[in-house]
Structure 1
Amino acid sequence: MTIAPDTARSEPPQYRAMREALSSLDDTVPGKFEITKEGIVHDMMSPGRPHELTAVLVSRRMEKVMPDDLVAHTGTPDVENAPEGVMRHPDVIVLALADMEGDGPFDPRSLLAAVEVVSRSNPDNDWIGKVRDYPLLGIPVYAVFDPRTATGAVMSDIHPTPEGPRYATRKDFVYGEDVTIADWTISTDGLPRYAEPGE
């Protein structure tokens, strides 16, 4: 189901300024940039092999159990809600293949789930910032895989709170267990871990 962008609300001027600043930095500053309600998040380290391998394995395992008209996509473009002033880049997004068509960022309302692999250099971005932002964007299911600890969690059931929309349900898992993300259950066997410092 394709969802038209929300044109009734314009993007905040502060958000527009941050987007323009990031555009001018493209390909000149290493790392990944995202925009949150709190400002710009810069993960200075490019993701390493365990991070990228986890994203690929989760994507492949999900696609094996999902219908052919859905995709577990890794890569670009970003997921953006300009009126809310948020631009994120999930490691894996689950959406209809038809919603891959077109130009520009993905509308977060078209996502069925988002998956993040925790960054070694900035874990709070995945465990705190995105836990706050993804329900605000209306992403119904958010799964976190943490190669530092071989654990993770799946959050769902968005509900209103005084601080804004939040996930009401959290199911923790450890690597080796099966995990259910939205309607699909996959194995977490064999997912890589980050090496301990000095290894």
Structure 2
Amino acid sequence: MTVAPDSARQDDFQYRAMRDAVDQLGYGLPGKFEITKEGIVHDMMAPGGPHEVTVSRISRRLEREMPDELLAHTGTPDVEDGPGGIMRHPDVTVIAWDDLGVEGAVDPRAVLAAVEVVSRSNPDNDWVGKVRDYPLIGIPVYAVFDPRTGTGAVFSDIHATPEGPRYATRKDFVYGEDVTVAGWTVSTGGLPRYA
């Protein structure tokens, strides 16, 4: 008689194996590793220049608008939904100080918004993978800034679909316009573009 593991146990086993691999690889290889519904994503390029300037400017502009108990965090830890099999690392995580002060990864249900600046090396990770994964783990607002094109979009209003939760609303913007992220409006003026 053959006994096959149930689907949930198999999914958990696969996620744990990927998580262990990411932990090991993260110490010796450059770039950033994330776990998606599709597997492990490795962004080989270390962000620099326009990417980091955009991350910092968006973080500071958001924090000027937000109450003191919140921050637009740009560092570690990751945002992880172990049972859902997803571990991501937003460029900017809008979260309460109290929810950030935990050991290990942040619970995605504590995140008010995630902001990504599209990388040159793997734009589909931000425009496709994270648009799919962030609503699956309950992040209510996702903003994408794209220095390649000087455009972006804010995704919100998670709703149920046959494929799982998805964002129902997408608001596109062009650099130079004001954009609203989770109720706070910030300028996109002066954001750098990739050469």
Residues 32 and 44, structure 2, Cα contact 8 Å, conserved in 1 = yes
- After TM superposition, the score normalised by the length of structure 2 is 0.94
- 1:22 corresponds in structure 2 to 22
Structure 2 portions without partners, runs of 5+: 1-7
1:101 positional shift: 1.1
Q: Provide, for residues 65-84 of structure 1, a one-character-per-residue CA deviation record: whole Å limited to 9, x for no partner.
A: 11011100001010000000
- After TM superposition, the score normalised by the length of structure 1 is 0.92
Residues 153 and 173, structure 2, Cα contact 8 Å, conserved in 1 = yes
- 1:154 corresponds in structure 2 to 154
1:26 positional shift: 2.5
The letter of the residue matching 2:116 is E
After the TM superposition, list the runs of 4 or more consecutive aligned residues in structure 1 that deviate by more than 4 angstroms.
none
- 1:3 corresponds in structure 2 to none
- 2:46 corresponds in structure 1 to 46
- 1:5 corresponds in structure 2 to none
Q: Provide, for residues 141-168 of structure 1, a one-character-per-residue CA deviation record: whole Å limited to 9, x for no partner.
A: 0000000000000000000011110000
Q: Distance in 1 between matches of 2:28 and 2:68?
A: 38
Query: Aligned pair 1:70/2:52, yes or no?
Result: no
- 1:175 corresponds in structure 2 to 175
- 1:140 corresponds in structure 2 to 140
1:102 positional shift: 2.0
Q: Distance in 2 between matches of 1:190 and 1:101?
A: 32
- Classify the secondary structure of the residue corresponding to 1:190: coil
- 1:91 corresponds in structure 2 to 91
Residues 34 and 42, structure 2, Cα contact 8 Å, conserved in 1 = yes
1:27 positional shift: 2.2
- 1:191 corresponds in structure 2 to 191
Q: Provide, for residues 17-41 of structure 1, a one-character-per-residue CA deviation record: whole Å limited to 9, x for no partner.
A: 0111112213211111000011000
Q: Distance in 2 between matches of 1:138 and 1:26?
A: 26
Structure 1 portions without partners, runs of 5+: 1-8
Instruction: Tell me the C-alpha RMSD between the 2 structures.
Output: 1.1
1:100 positional shift: 1.5
Q: Provide, for residues 111-166 of structure 1, a one-character-per-residue CA deviation record: whole Å limited to 9, x for no partner.
A: 00000000101000000000000000100000000000000000000000111100
- 2:4 corresponds in structure 1 to none
- 1:129 corresponds in structure 2 to 129
Q: Distance in 2 between matches of 1:163 and 1:59?
A: 32
Q: Distance in 2 between matches of 1:26 and 1:141?
A: 28
